[in-house]
Amino acid sequence: MKQPTTTTTSAKTLSSLKRTRMLMLGSLLALGTVAALLATQAQAQTAEPAATPTAAPAQPVAAYDAKDLERAFKFMDKTGDGKVSRDEASNFRGVSKHFDEADVNKDNFLSPEEFNNAMNRSRQP
């Protein structure tokens, strides 16, 4: 009986670790996306404080990094067709909740551009 080589076992273990790491990174990115979308809603519901003469002007909020948004989009796009369906978005509460707002062309899919625009609009002060 032939014993598996250490190289084969190591390659399988490495592949499994990479898959686990990608899943964890994708999950963290998805959680960040959801948190940002929820923060947008909370900000919309919060009354704006009265301006005081000593208040410093608000600093603009930086947009999300394009690579992070691309990774999040690819993580949600389970079919790999370059668009996120309502069903694919249903696994991400914040995305599914704001799906109709983000789907500008109303084709029931989010393109990478629609997703990026929606996410960066959520970062506006």
More confident residue, 107 or 41: 107
What is the predicted pLDDT for the residue at 107? 96
What is the predicted pLDDT for the residue at 33? 64
**Global pTM value:** 0.51
The answer, yes or no, to whether residue 36 has pLDDT greater than 60, is: yes
More confident residue, 40 or 69: 69
pLDDT tens digits, 52-99 = 555 555 555 557 889 999 999 999 999 999 999 999 999 898 899 999
More confident residue, 47 or 77: 77
The C-alpha angle with vertex 25 and arms to 62 and 44, in degrees rounded to 5, equals: 40
The answer, yes or no, to whether residue 29 has pLDDT greater than 70, is: no
More confident residue, 15 or 124: 15
pLDDT tens digits, 101-121 = 999 999 999 999 999 999 888
